[in-house]
Amino acid sequence: RAKDSGRGQMRFYEPLMDEKIERTRDLGAEMQGALERGEFHLVFQPIFDLTGDRILSCETLLRWTNRRHGAISPAEFIPIAEDNGLIVAIGSWVIREACRIASSWPSDVTIAVNLSPIQLRSANLPTVIMNALAASGFAAERLELEVTESVLLEDIEASLAALDAINRLNVRTTLDDFGTGYSSLSYLTKFPFQTLKIDRSFIADLEQSPASVAIVQTVIELAAKLGMRTVAEGVETHAQLEQLRRTRCDAVQGFLLAHPMPASMVATMLAGDGVKALGRS
């Protein structure tokens, strides 16, 4: 009897696994021609100063709408692209496209682009960046590349060398999702980041957890002492924003202020006289 129910579970379990494996294989195959078919596009999420009145930067977020599978989340397709190596070609396209689009924005607005660890350690990354800047006429100082904490622990020497190479081009680097990995605060002194982005899990806890308030406050103060700017990501409520104003981070990003949006809408917002994300007058 126990054996029967055991087999029953197996029969229930296997098709689900097969489906997931099949979808992964399918998406990997569809990804091959996706760039040529123009299935990728970029959206941009504005990053504001603490008043919420001024856009300082926009984060580039990749979107894929496949002819057969429809819209696929980057959380699903980026790992597949990293496995099959296509992340390098796709990521290069993202950098070129982001620079091209942002070159028509006001010159005090920067653009942030996410980098996969595989891209970071690919030998031709500096060339890709230089070509993107040259083709668009976009100033290196206005480009920021975001890498997550996990990247650094995988191969410290290679990551450090790659980040130095990026910084030598006058392109800035941001440590993304800070606090989710296992790196210690002392890592911050080893790596040449200009900006530290505090992970949204800490921001989400600000209202309920005095410990999170203390952590966020400490991280902001430490970053300032080390000469780094801080951005809080995932700001969803006014109470969180108020707390961040008290702890004085440099910039805020999240659904409260603006969702990721198409380039045309960013251009409209930037052209507007004095952006009012929070509808204040």
Nearer to Mg ion, 114 or 212 (CB): 114
Nearer to ligand C2E, 52 or 254 (CB): 254
Nearer to Mg ion, 149 or 177 (CB): 177
Asked if 136 interacts with ligand C2E (CB under 6 A), we say: no
DSSP 73-137: -HHHHHHHHHHHSTHHHHHHHHHHHHHHHHTTS-TT-EEEEE--HHHHT-TTHHHHHHHHHHHHT
Binds Mg ion (CB under 5 A): choice among 171, 176, 198, 256: 176
Query: Which region holds residue 219: left if phi is over 0, alpha if psi is between -120 and 50, else beta?
Result: alpha
Asked if 57 interacts with ligand C2E (CB under 6 A), we say: no
Asked if 62 interacts with ligand C2E (CB under 6 A), we say: yes
> For residues 70 and 59, what is the distance between their CA atoms, to the nearest angstrom?
23
Binds ligand C2E (CB under 6 A): choice among 35, 50, 56, 61: 61
Coil/strand/helix, residue 61: strand
- Helix (H) / strand (E) containing 139: none
Q: Which residues pair with 143 in a beta bridge?
A: 111
Asked if 114 interacts with Mg ion (CB under 5 A), we say: yes
Binds ligand C2E (CB under 6 A): choice among 27, 31, 78, 86: 78
Q: Which of residues 184-243 bind ligand C2E (CB under 6 A)?
A: 200, 234-236
74-84 vs 2-32: helix axis angle to the nearest 10? 80
The partner in contact with residue 78, picked from ligand C2E, Mg ion, none with C-beta cut-offs of 5 to 8 angstroms by kind, is ligand C2E
Asked if 255 interacts with ligand C2E (CB under 6 A), we say: yes
Asked if 144 interacts with Mg ion (CB under 5 A), we say: no
> For residues 169 and 266, what is the distance between their CA atoms, to the nearest angstrom?
27
Asked if 73 interacts with ligand C2E (CB under 6 A), we say: yes
> For residues 111 and 115, what is the distance between their CA atoms, to the nearest angstrom?
13
Q: Which of residues 90-119 bind ligand C2E (CB under 6 A)?
A: 91, 94, 114-116
Binds Mg ion (CB under 5 A): choice among 144, 149, 177, 250: 177
Under a CB-based contact definition with an 8 Å cutoff, are residues 157 and 184 in contact? Answer: no
> For residues 122 and 158, what is the distance between their CA atoms, to the nearest angstrom?
10
Binding site for ligand C2E (CB under 6 A): 45, 61-62, 73-75, 78, 91, 94, 114-116, 146, 176-177, 200, 234-236, 254-255, 260
Binding site for Mg ion (CB under 5 A): 114, 146, 176-177, 233
